[in-house]
Structure 1
Amino acid sequence: MSFTAKNKAVLIRSGKILLFCAAILATTKLTLQFDALTSQPTAAFGFIIIVLLSAYFGDLIVAISTSLVATLCFDYFYLAPVGTFNVYAFPDWISLVAFLLATVIISRLTASAAESKTNATELNETVLQLEQFGEWLSSIPDDQLALPLIAKGVMDIFSLDFCSIYVHGEGKWKHSIGIAASPVFEEIERKLSLFDDHPKSLIELATENIPGVRYMPLAKGKIPPVVLVVKGHALPTNAIGAVARMISLRLGLAI
């Protein structure tokens, strides 16, 4: 059974939640086995460290899930009456609420910092890929410039699942695919062939094709329309626009 990128992300996130929640339970068991480690501050400190790790190596959902489990364990095992989720003493209520707020705030800040670092890394990688693609595209001799070659270059340089350039002419879409067909690509080709009789807008293309496929015009408002079609999560939409502009300039198309 094959998983989509979204299913894989959910599976990885679920695994991380289970891992860090198991770490909370293991820490609880450890602290309860040694009298010297059973104080509330020591247990809370251990839980906060695990929450920090969950936010750094996971995301906000992983961190919040870990934080809630840590709060429940802190209540059940360390606040009187021990062994219940009831809290009778007002100071214990303050401890519980403070612990929950601290873990949630720490989760949010740490997850944001980790996400910003990831975004910066991805942005730098995309900029380098755009520079590489621009140099490669400009190095192609005019007599060797062809749409299938460009499509394959886009797909290879940006590590896409699919890339093709579609030109509508003579009553049908002409496909300049950049890689040999596979079941996914054949599905894209099949659905595009359903409206070979006339060109459609990008909105119509987006609603009629399979999820995850993105479209960018190479010649806006021109006849015949020329459209860059890609599938893959490695390239942001604004970067696809930059790629389309470079291709349009190289081909001498109006943009």
Structure 2
Amino acid sequence: MRLLCVLAAVVAETYLCTHWLRLNVTTVGFLFLVTVLLISTAWGLAEALAGSVVATLCYNYFFFPPVGTFTIDDPMNWVALMAFLITSVTASQLSELARRRNREVLSRQLDMERLYALSRAVLLADPTEPMAKQVAREIARIYDLPAVALYDGANHETFRAGPEDLPEIEAALSEAAVSGTLLRDERRQVVVTPVSFGGRPVGSLALRGSAFTDTALQSLCGLVSLGMEKAQSQAAASRAEAARQSEEFKSTLLDAIAHEFKTPLTSIKAGTTAILSSTITKPDQQREALAIVDAAADRLGALVTDAIHLARIEASEMRLNLQSRSLRAVVHETLRHMKSATDGREVELSLPDDLPSVLVDPELIQLVFRHLIDNALKYSPVGSPIAVGARSDGGFVALSIRNQGEGIPEWERSRIFDKFYRGAAARRVPGTGMGLAIARDVIVAHGGELRVESAPGEGAEFTLSLSAAKGEPAP
């Protein structure tokens, strides 16, 4: 079709020059040359060469004397005709070379833009999703390919992307990854290439639907290998950091427990030694010594319980046994278990009778209340009251515990829920720094919130919120 258009263009130009324009031979040759250049620019070298031959014939037949024949009487006209032919062919070749270079420049520019888009996708990859899966998906999207398959040699998984499938590609992917050879299937328009990083194979890549140059394919594989290696490095770093934090946690936990065990163990040792040595013989004295031993044993049991719960929270192994419970009943039961600790202290309760029930794990919520009340008792003057109040707030129930202690400085409030953290004032009081951390994590696991409001010299108020259970208030 194009050759016919070339022939028609040269014939039309010849007709115009012979019947309408009446131009001289030099001008006609220049117009023929411009036509050949336009054909070369628009369609390519083959069409331009065909136009050059046809234009040369027309130039000879219609414009060189004797007109109407292919015979040329004047030798100078032969020189002019050959010069025209050589010029038109040379110009066609130069035009085709410029076209080819322009296509190469545009192709390289497109490759660079695609590689940049893929590198940006690799840098912004979601750490919660396999890197190979994301890379395969982005290659299919950026390069507009119907089918992509990426084999991750580290995890021995193949990830596919694109609207079409590559059936039975696993064998070719494995072979390319192991042997490091490039496989091309021209009939199916599929290329399978190994992916290596620093000379070490990390997987293989299968593409269908586009012709990649060797340079473009190598650049693409280099970027893919970089992304896969980045994911492996991040995973290794995360595992190393998790192991380091786990070791630090164990060391800190053991140090805190060992330090806190000394006081109750000393009390138990003193009480049992006094009883066994017969230095106390009166029943009242023996009961008092046993009471000290009993209280110290309770303290040891509480420390062990805290350590177990904190270890489970750290290992993400906390399981909730949710039940609908009355918040009033849970608070009263907690205070009953803490009777020895609250002796001599006034606990002011403000718990409305119509409080809705809450959906909680009874054991863990009692543990939270115990820590908050124990915290209020320890960090307030002896004889000062502790206020416990509750209110319904939309679909939540809020419980607050307030003391009249020294308060918490503003710079310290953001840290008091950290594991093992103890403020400057808290260091004068026995403790491990586990209680508030446990309380916060348990409340968060229930879908609630634990916050503190305080000012120096005005005490501290801890407020927790829990979701109200649907239905009537529980008894």
TM-score (norm 1): 0.74
Greater Rg by CA: 2
The answer on 1:176 being equivalent to 2:176 is no
State the match for 1:67 in structure 2. Answer: 52
State the match for 1:215 in structure 2. Answer: 192
**After alignment, is 213-222 or 48-57 more displaced?**
213-222
Change (3 A) 1:131 1:204: closer
State the match for 1:25 in structure 2. Answer: 11
Match of 1:36 among 4, 8, 22: 22
RCO comparison, higher one (Cα < 8 Å, 6+): 1
Aligned counterparts, 1:1-255, within 5 A? 15-34=1-20, 36-37=22-23, 39-166=24-151, 175-181=158-164, 185=165, 189-190=167-168, 192=169, 195=171, 199=175, 201=179, 205-206=183-184, 210=187, 212-219=189-196, 226-233=203-210, 235-252=212-229
Structure 1 residue 228 displacement after superposition: 1.3
Change (3 A) 1:227 1:110: same
Matched to 1:177, the amino acid is R
Matched to 1:31, the amino acid is C
Structure 2: state its 5+ residue gaps: 233-475
Matched to 2:183, the amino acid is L
Matched to 1:96, the amino acid is L
The answer (yes or no) to whether the contact 1:55–1:110 under 8 Å persists in 2 is yes
Q: How far, CA to CA, are the matches of 1:226 and 1:249 in structure 2?
A: 12
Give the SS at the match of 1:219: strand
Q: How far, CA to CA, are the matches of 2:150 and 2:42 in structure 1?
A: 38
Matched to 1:117, the amino acid is N
The answer (yes or no) to whether the contact 2:139–2:148 under 8 Å persists in 1 is yes
Q: How far, CA to CA, are the matches of 2:42 and 2:25 in structure 1?
A: 26
Query: Normalized per residue, which structure has more strand?
Result: 2
Structure 1 residue 140 displacement after superposition: 0.8
Structure 1 residue 62 displacement after superposition: 2.5
Q: How far, CA to CA, are the matches of 1:159 and 1:78 in structure 2?
A: 54
State the match for 1:6 in structure 2. Answer: none
Q: Deviations over 1:110-159 (max 9, x none)?
A: 22223222322222222122111100111112221343432221122123
Matched to 1:34, the amino acid is W
The answer (yes or no) to whether the contact 1:159–1:234 under 8 Å persists in 2 is no
The answer (yes or no) to whether the contact 2:131–2:228 under 8 Å persists in 1 is no
Query: Normalized per residue, which structure has more helix?
Result: 1
Q: Deviations over 1:53-91 (max 9, x none)?
A: 122222222222222221122122222343333434322
Q: Deviations over 1:157-197 (max 9, x none)?
A: 1233432224689xxx965321132xxx55xx25x46x579
Matched to 1:176, the amino acid is F
Structure 1 residue 41 displacement after superposition: 1.5
Change (3 A) 1:17 1:212: farther
Q: How far, CA to CA, are the matches of 1:198 and 1:108 in structure 2?
A: 46
Matched to 1:158, the amino acid is Y
Change (3 A) 1:213 1:80: farther
Matched to 1:215, the amino acid is V
Change (3 A) 1:121 1:24: same
Q: Deviations over 1:219-254 (max 9, x none)?
A: 37767x722122344653312211211111111189
Change (3 A) 1:212 1:68: farther
Structure 1: state its 5+ residue gaps: 1-14
> How many residues of Structure 1 are paired with residues of Structure 2 in the alignment?
228
**After alignment, is 141-150 or 101-110 more displaced?**
141-150
Change (3 A) 1:211 1:179: closer
Change (3 A) 1:211 1:98: farther
Give the SS at the match of 1:165: strand
The answer (yes or no) to whether the contact 2:194–2:205 under 8 Å persists in 1 is yes
Matched to 1:199, the amino acid is E
State the match for 2:364 in structure 1. Answer: none
Q: How far, CA to CA, are the matches of 1:178 and 1:73 in structure 2?
A: 57
Structure 1 residue 98 displacement after superposition: 0.6
Q: How far, CA to CA, are the matches of 1:162 and 1:80 in structure 2?
A: 64
The answer (yes or no) to whether the contact 1:158–1:235 under 8 Å persists in 2 is no
Structure 1 residue 198 displacement after superposition: 7.0
